[in-house]
Structure 1
Amino acid sequence: MALAVETFRFLLRIFAQDLLTDFSLFYSVLYVSMSDRSVFDVLQGLTSQDNSIGMIVQILWLAFFVLYMLYGQRLQVKIMLKEIEGSLYRLKIIRDRGREIAISTVKKMSKEDNDPTERVDRILEHVYISPVSLDPSGIIKRLEHLIDVRDFRFKDEVKLMVPNADETQINNLTNMLEAALALNQIYKTVRHFYLVGKKTSSFYIILQLQMILPQIMKESQAFASALTAFKTGQPIGDGIGPLIAARLMHRKKEYEITKDTVVSEVSIDGRTAYVLKAKGPGGNVGKPGEAIRRLLEEKEGKISRIIVIDAAQKLEGERPGEVVEGTGVAIGGPGVDKYKVEEVATKYKIPLNAILIKEGIEDVVSTMRKEIANSVDEVIKRINRIIHETTKEGDQIIIAGIGNTIGIAQ
């Protein structure tokens, strides 16, 4: 009992000491606060300062929101116009460089003192007008006629500038001028929409132009690379079809079946193959549609199969030089040759096989890449397999290598 009382007294003494200490501390703080109000002033100042900053931030945010709603689209238009202006400047440099290459090449090949600048500039401004499509009857013949006239016009202009050039040089110069013409048209088209968008401040015109500019720049770089290839006569990516045909007809006698298109008779696995390509080594695509039509008419439709080999646009993620097979007529361009082959193949009920070599848009008209050239063996292997599996000995087939045959002879 005595021990419990002593313990209680001890705890009470400690509690009293703690209470006294706390009271003394509170009294000291209160005394300082009453004698010197700097603590309250500081706290009140901080609170007032926070309120002022918050008010300023809210006002600024509201002002920014109002300005963005009123002028945000205009700001976006200004930014996009600046980006387009930079791309347009690069396009102008590419266009001017293409023009200079064309003029300097013509001057170098021509032995006359006449300045070809005026004639080259006139070619670069040349405009092609498509035939009327209101009445589709006979449009293919009209389209073919206009294409032929345009081709003759370009070659005649080249002959006037370089009268001593041979056929190969004329074809290469014609291709080079067409590449320079394409660069000029791309630049003028982009400039047109840029100026229209800038003049009208049309958000949607400028937005659409900005969206397709990366693709336009890629195409322009491809045509710029094509100028060098056409100048030096190097094979381009589009020439993979003629390259394969040239491999098949190597050391075989060929004859010209139609304008700028040659054919060789080749024996493959006991079958007779008529291999055709554009006449090289000058830059030329020939007339494969007319050549196939004439072959079928000569053989009275006794052809077991038609195999068409051409370059095809690859998708992103696909590797250049990848080989795929298909059904149909793999011929690009305006469609004249494709129409002729489809028409005559339908008339004689002849199966159509296509072998495609995948290429990017930058590969088609630039110097042929190693990956594309290495696909030749794979394509020939597939040709042999198709012939072995779908025809029998003694059959006749047509193999057409489609594309520009610059730098590729027979």
Structure 2
Amino acid sequence: MISDIPALVSQGAFSEDNILGWIFQLAWILIFVVFMFYGQRIQTMLMLKEIESSLYRLKMMRDKGREIVISTIKETGKPDEDPTPRVDRFLEHVDIGPVSLDPVGIIQRLEHLMDVRNTRFKDEVRLMAPHADETQINNLTNVLEAALALNQIYKSIRHYYLLGKKTLSLYIIMQLQMILPLVMKESEAFANALRAFTLGQPIGDGAGALVAAKLMYGREKRRIAKDIVVSKVPIDGRTAYVLKAEGPGGKVGKPGEAIKEILEENEGKVSMIILIDAAMKLEGEKLGEVAEGIGVAIGGPGVEKYKVEDITVKYKVPINAVLIKEDIGDAVSTMRKEVFEAVNVAIERIKRLIHERTKEGDTVIIAGIGNTIGIGQ
């Protein structure tokens, strides 16, 4: 056997090229073994690193939102004491939903909790900013809600990040990594919303309110429900009750209650209801694209939507919807040009619907749904 070594050497088995080849083969075998036994752990650590980077960005957005809230309150409300401790307490606010084991009456219970929440928020803002007027109070409430949302998102992501890091559970970490792009997109939208709310600028979600504002401009208005105003507007020989949240403060009001009141005032003699609202666009759809449909176009937890559905079933009134397509980022940030231009398209669609589906002398209801910040009437 030993006598064969000179022959192997003479044949080049241990030449320089072959030695390099053996080294590369051994390296690949070593890498394969490492990945076979530690691949999942390495993958987990890489995903944790990616999540950690996003978590840092979320923390920056959360902290910036908090700073904006405090500086805006100091500038607008001119408080006698530092509002920081009260703001920090507010950012830890928790909403507890009604019990759903027995669904009977859940809408009324949910509405009650929402009313309590809204009252509590505005009372807190009045204490933080004692010199702010009503419009500023509504806008500051929106600013605080955006900051609250950022804080809750950050804490939720941090919770699952730390839980995944603690347990090294690939399934927890993988699920968190999968939803992170959507979470970051939503968080960036709320971060951008802070500027619009602080300055009192119209936002994309106010597209429906802007449609109503244009239709009722120059007409006499009256309050029909909480934070909702209505005007009688003649359109093509029909009488249109046009309603929206009372601006220019950041309000959404109770459009369902308003529609119910108008229907009962007219004893159900309404030919059609048209609701205009912003709708989430799909990827590939154009911003500001206008679509038509049927049903109650009111977002949120569903209380106002339920009221409209309930009363329209009673009086058998058809419901039509005109939707302006937007992304989540467009909906809560300063209204973009495409959305503003889509408002005129939506008005033309409304007039066409009224002309084609009602007769002269009929009564219709047009409800502009959405946050009316920066939009008067």
After TM superposition, the score normalised by the length of structure 1 is 0.88
Q: Distance in 2 between matches of 1:258 and 1:63?
A: 74
Match for 1:85: what amino acid?
Answer: E
Cα gap change, 1:52/1:112 in structure 2, threshold over 3 Å: closer, same or farther? closer
Structure 1 match to 2:185: 218
Identical columns (%): 69
Structure 2 match to 1:227: 194
Q: Distance in 2 between matches of 1:63 and 1:42?
A: 26
Structure 2 match to 1:383: 350
Structure 1 match to 2:240: 273
Q: Distance in 2 between matches of 1:222 and 1:320?
A: 15
Match for 2:35: what amino acid?
Answer: Y
Q: Distance in 1 between matches of 2:77 and 2:233?
A: 40
Q: Distance in 2 between matches of 1:302 and 1:254?
A: 21
User: Contact conserved, 2:249 with 2:373, CA < 8 A, in 1?
Assistant: yes
Among 302, 314, 339, the alignment partner of 1:347 is: 314
Give the CA deviation at 1:48. Answer: 5.0
Structure 1 match to 2:59: 92
Q: Distance in 1 between matches of 2:10 and 2:349?
A: 87
Q: Distance in 1 between matches of 2:344 and 2:215?
A: 11
Give the CA deviation at 1:66. Answer: 1.9
Among 215, 230, 255, the alignment partner of 1:248 is: 215
Structure 1 match to 2:293: 326
Q: How does 1:134-283 map to 2 (within 5 A)?
A: 134-283=101-250
C-alpha RMSD over aligned residues: 1.5
Deviations 1:83-108 (A, max 9, x none): 11111111111100000000011111
Q: Distance in 2 between matches of 1:353 and 1:298?
A: 21
Structure 1 match to 2:341: 374
Secondary structure at the aligned position of 1:282 is classed as coil
Q: Distance in 1 between matches of 2:36 and 2:99?
A: 47
Give the CA deviation at 1:53. Answer: 4.2
Deviations 1:310-352 (A, max 9, x none): 0000000111100000110111000000111011111111111
Match for 1:173: what amino acid?
Answer: L
Give the CA deviation at 1:44. Answer: 1.9
Secondary structure at the aligned position of 1:325 is classed as strand
Could you list the structure 1 runs, at least 4 aligned residues long, displaced by more than 6 angstroms after superposition: 40-43
Structure 2 match to 1:109: 76
Structure 2 match to 1:23: none
Is 1:402 aligned to 2:369, yes or no?
Answer: yes
Q: Distance in 2 between matches of 1:230 and 1:57?
A: 61
Q: Distance in 2 between matches of 1:108 and 1:408?
A: 22
Cα gap change, 1:210/1:41 in structure 2, threshold over 3 Å: closer, same or farther? closer
Structure 1 match to 2:323: 356
Deviation larger for 107-116 or 145-154: 107-116
Q: Distance in 2 between matches of 1:311 and 1:107?
A: 33
Structure 2 match to 1:294: 261
Secondary structure at the aligned position of 2:155 is classed as helix
User: Contact conserved, 2:79 with 2:131, CA < 8 A, in 1?
Assistant: no
Ranges in structure 1 where 5+ consecutive residues have no aligned partner: 1-39
Secondary structure at the aligned position of 2:12 is classed as helix
Match for 1:111: what amino acid?
Answer: K
Match for 1:122: what amino acid?
Answer: R
Give the CA deviation at 1:50. Answer: 5.3
Structure 2 match to 1:126: 93
After TM superposition, the score normalised by the length of structure 2 is 0.96
Match for 1:371: what amino acid?
Answer: E
Give the CA deviation at 1:214. Answer: 1.1
User: Contact conserved, 2:9 with 2:15, CA < 8 A, in 1?
Assistant: no
